[in-house]
Amino acid sequence: MTRATRSDNWGFPRWGGYGSAREAVTVRLCDRHGCEERGDCPAPKSPNSPERWYFCQPHAAEYNRGWDYFEGLSAEDAAEREANERRDASGFTQARHNQWAGPGDGSRSRDEMRALDVLDLEPDADFEAVRTAWRRLAKESHPDVKPGNAEAATRFQAVQAAYDVLRAAEERREWRPD
């Protein structure tokens, strides 16, 4: 049995008009009162709620500015949650060697940022600045320079540990697999 009508959407060229089968796309507007921008950034209305606000990017940034992920948790619970999330995301560390971003824009780990604080450096300091600061601080607090000073010895150990962390990170960045 043959069909009574024949589709004109076959062969080349297709005789149907291009885009004739497409309907209008519905656009969700930002939920912020008075905003006419596209609302494509979901944000929870309350913790552990499936309901979402939909904001434009500027209003989503404003909404998230005061967000504290660990609010209401004790220090032990916050540390446990952070450890669990690091463990769950450990598969992504395999791609860490790509390093598409530069220093100071989120490519440094939390340990590296702490080490930079110990050396009194900015987050975007290069390794030459790290080496210079390490030498200066090590000379100031070396146990041979200040014998018997426990505080200087502790400071020297902290400076040395910070330098070791930053040196290892720099070596990882320099090493690129083929």
pLDDT at 92: 61
Residue 87 forms part of a structural domain = no
Residue 2 forms part of a structural domain = no
End-of-domain residue from the set 50, 70, 90: 70
pLDDT at 108: 78
Contacts of 173 (CB under 8 A, 6+ apart): 99
Q: Where residue 127 sits, what CATH number does that domain have? A: 1.10.287.110
For 152-175, letters b (16+ CB in 10 Å) and e give beebbebbbebbebbeebbeeeee
What value does the mean pLDDT take over residues 67-72? 76
What angle, 0 to 180 degrees and rounded to 10, lies between the N-to-C axes of helices 150-174 and 127-141? 160
Would you say how long the chain is, in residues?
A: 178
Say whether both 112 and 51 belong to one domain.
Answer: no
Say whether both 115 and 158 belong to one domain.
Answer: yes
Does the pLDDT value for residue 70 go beyond 80? no
Say whether both 119 and 170 belong to one domain.
Answer: yes
Single-letter residue type at 162 = A
Number of domains in the chain: 2
Query: Full-prediction pTM beyond 0.95?
Result: no
Highest mean pLDDT among 75-84, 90-99, 132-141: 132-141
Say whether both 51 and 114 belong to one domain.
Answer: no
Residue 144 forms part of a structural domain = yes
How sure is the predictor about 143, in pLDDT bands with cuts at 50, 70 and 90?
A: confident
E strands within the chain?
Answer: 41-44, 52-55
What value does the mean pLDDT take over residues 58-66? 84
Rounded to an integer, what distance in angstroms lies between the CA atom of residue 46 and that of residue 166? 39
Rounded to an integer, what distance in angstroms lies between the CA atom of residue 154 and that of residue 165? 17
Range of the domain at 152: 102-174
pLDDT at 101: 47
Lowest mean pLDDT among 23-27, 88-92, 112-116: 88-92
Residue 94 forms part of a structural domain = no
Say whether both 153 and 106 belong to one domain.
Answer: yes
Say whether both 61 and 118 belong to one domain.
Answer: no
pLDDT at 1: 56
